[in-house]
Structure 1
């Protein structure tokens, strides 16, 4: 359930369901960060040195930001390890400058409250064991600190026991949320697939209707003439041959219609030129000019060059070919004259034209 793409297919992220990408999430994060630094400012007079407390605040702040920003579901292992150690490390920094004289004040107990917020969201984001390990680590740190300042180890470690309640709630909540999230994302994926399928079917039906209308307008008059049974004139036979070549081009090389080469090819064929279109670009055979499969600059170069060659030719053979994608030569135009000479022009993937005789 991550937003990152795997195999080209985007997967879902539980942050979407929790609204952690919305402005409200940033407002909650900003409130947490402000509370953390306000608390540091409040207890700064009760500690022996300020900089370890600032380090503790930086650790908690970075952990909270990571919970919101780091992608992945569940959280990546490296991030999980770092966040697990962030609580005990922040406690070490804060308690290292907390003396026995201030042990009963808020300065001795506030730090674990910030860490538990991070641990609760770790549970929601798919890591249920690591937060409890972090809580145990905090208890060990508090117990060791209590021993060093002359307090009861058990009583000092028990300071963090209150954090077990929200962490338990977060753990239980994750058992409810995550299966629901999977069901929601599965339903969303099925809906998306169905919509895509319906759209594809509608597009295919529309394209079929378009092709039928085109064929009806182009071929029906000649088919009706043939259906009369009367002998065709020489001009009508020529028209049939030209029509057959045009329809063959639309089926075999649909991209050429997109490049507006139908007219020039028709005029060249009326002059007796054999015109062959070869389309290896992989373009969708829509024939409606809306789905070019080559770069615009290459398409413009091919259209201009082929149109000029077709308009100027009055004999021979002309081959216009669009190459498969990712080839150094994107397209080529070859004009073979009846005297045996030929001119070959190549267009690279940048639209640059080079001609060879």
Structure 2
């Protein structure tokens, strides 16, 4: 089984990815589009101040590009969903604008403010991740932050010192990095969620099919026991009225006909169900065959009618393997893929037998001509046979049809549990604290030389208290009390950080605490306390407003402090809300699809009943019951013997299903004719593992065919026993063959 995962590609429209990942991509694209549009307003406000000092060509290229892409992004996000090229263009223009800022600055004066592009750089990093991958988004973040730091040390960037420029670099690094980490963890989580729900879908569908098959098998066994076997026993008895036997036979035939009413031929089967149907149809005639599913096309489906024909053709090919190939191994591979709008379903039957020259194959070979080629031609399929003497044989069944997909998604595991199981919040919090530690360290260094040396110590204690509150919050979700403690600590950090600000030149590095506050509030948001996180942001904005108003610093300083935290809080909220929306949708899908799953299982079980079990039963009893149903037909001694033998075969199948196949039944019938006593006892209570069952049927058929007298007793053990199957052969000597749960065969004399 193969699968494809591409968790790093956030914007890729990959059909192999699941609905959760697709939903995250769409939600993230729309959130980024709105954020780019929202960023444009304050960016233009700052750009207006610096407009006279910038080259017109640069303004037309970079400024016009950012404006144009910001306006186009929401249109594409809501119309098409795929905004990769626009995001890539936005990120490229932003980086190009930073790299050429020194050239674009035409004034001889030193800039009083940071380049207005700093507002676009953070969201541009997310755009770069959407256009490419999250790791490349990290690379973009580092490169753009370093370029911005270099610009800040020039006249056009404010002529800052290296330490001040480093603070700006970290400001541009920390928040985009935190959000990219958040996106990466959510992307991994929803990818794992899709894989988990896909697995649970298959498990739930298989269980529904098992239940439906068990119900159908119970009905069929009742018909065989109460109708068919009763008729056969009555026919053997010479004193039974011929009219009564005929009436019993007609009743049995009617019961078999009623049980085999055709299912809905338009019912869709996925690839796993097709493989299971083929396995059930092939197993009785070729137990050594192993069915494998290539799951790369497991979202494709075929109708029950097409599945029936493919199964019948595969059965004929497998029957040829048993009769003619003398093979040790036979593999049936079921696969599907899309090709130019059409879906191709292929069933390959390979064996390692003696092979043959296809040129020597008679054109009128009934099994190949009717059971394979004509059946496939009727549904628009083809048969290709490839073989060489001594090199085995490959039979390829190919059906090509228009794409058919199930209307409803499969049942899903409850998403909240799955998300909690795959989302590694502890790792996220650890990385966040690593970034916070770096930012605090630079803040301390930036404060050195100021009179308020006590401030860094107090800030460190406040950050430590916040860390304790976060780490004591448990593995996944922080408590209300813990979240409130975090907000209080962050308020203290903000107040302490405001103390040295008026004493320093420039406020870029002195307002470093805004990054720390924002990262920690995003962490609170991720850990399930959205309302408290927004209250904390409100407290932070009010503190910044009071401080800037009290020191008469103007709106630019206020915007410089609160813009980044507000922007990233909005974007993080949109991402978290998008993931929650995905979860709610999956829960609704699971609830809505249960009835569809059950209906599909019932239809599939009826298909198996008709195409496998009843087909085998009709082949065994059809002609004989037709003769018995005719009251004018006088039974011969040979027909009575046939009734006796057939009744024995049916009894074996009812009592020991794990030990019976068509080949084994034929061998037992012949052995009993030679005087060999064969006893089958099935204590398993469930189906043997396929490896064990294949080896059991192989060994049992060989022993029965080789016996000329004596007694053979084959017995399956209940689940949990080391020896799954024992076969005792008593003739001139006693030999015991055992097969364990791994399919290992051991033979010893007793």
- TM-score normalised by length of structure 1: 0.67
- Rate the CA distance shift 1:308–1:132 in 2: closer, same or farther, 3 A: same
In the alignment, the residues of structure 1 paired with residue 524 and residue 571 of structure 2 have an alpha-carbon distance, to the nearest angstrom, of 9
Deviation, 1:83, is 6.1
- Deviation digits for residues 310-356 of structure 1 (CA, Å, limit 9, x no counterpart): 0122333322234455542232211244x8x6322112324232223
CA apart distance, 1:216: 2.2
CA contact (8 A) 1:334 1:342 kept: yes
Structure 1 gap segments, 5+ residues each: 1-11, 147-151, 284-292
Equivalent of 1:270 in 673, 678, 685? 673
Superposed, which structure 2 residues align to 1:1-357 within 5 Å?
17-19=23-25, 25=130, 27=132, 29=134, 30-40=136-146, 42-43=148-149, 46-48=161-163, 61=177, 64-65=180-181, 67-69=183-185, 71=189, 73=419, 78-79=426-427, 81-82=429-430, 85=433, 88-98=436-446, 104=506, 106-107=508-509, 112=514, 116=518, 123=525, 126-128=528-530, 160-166=561-567, 169-170=570-571, 173=574, 177=578, 180-210=581-611, 211-229=613-631, 232-258=635-661, 260-279=663-682, 280=684, 282-283=686-687, 293-296=688-691, 298-325=692-719, 327-337=721-731, 342-348=734-740, 349-357=742-750
Q: Highest relative contact order (Cα 8 Å, sep 6+), 1 or 2?
A: 2
1:92 Cα offset (Å): 0.5
Tell whether the 8 Å contact from 1:13 to 1:73 is kept in structure 2 after alignment: no
RMSD: 5.0
Contact 2:735 2:748 (C-alpha < 8 Å) held by counterparts: yes
Whether the 8 Å contact between 1:319 and 1:334 is mirrored in structure 2 is: yes
Structure 1 residues 224, 130: CA separation in 2 closer, same or farther (over 3 Å shift)?
Answer: same
Unpaired segments ≥5 residues, structure 2: 1-17, 29-81, 85-128, 154-160, 190-417, 451-502
Q: Whole-Å Cα distance in 1 between the matches of residues 131 and 727 of structure 2?
A: 58
Q: Distance in 1 between matches of 2:686 and 2:506?
A: 75
C-alpha deviation, 1:249, in angstroms? 2.8
Aligned partner of residue 97 in structure 1, secondary structure: helix
Count of residues in correspondence between the two structures: 327
Answer whether contact 1:59 1:90 (CA < 8 A) is retained: no
2:343 aligned residue? none
Q: Separation in 2 of the partners of 1:26 and 1:327?
A: 56
Report the counterpart of residue 261 of structure 2 in structure 1.
none
- The C-alpha deviation readout for 1:56-110, integer Å capped at 9, x for no partner, is 9589747733541363646555356446645643430332333579852655557
Q: Is the contact made by 2:735 and 2:749 (CA closer than 8 Å) also made in structure 1?
A: yes
SS of corresponding position for 2:726: strand
Distance in 2, matches of 1:275 and 1:137, equals 86
User: Do the aligned partners of 1:126 and 1:174 also contact (CA within 8 Å) in 2?
Assistant: no
Distance 1:176 1:54 in 2: 30
Q: Is the 8 A contact 1:278 1:320 kept in 2?
A: yes
Cα distance change, pair 85–160 in 1 and its aligned pair in 2 (3 A): farther
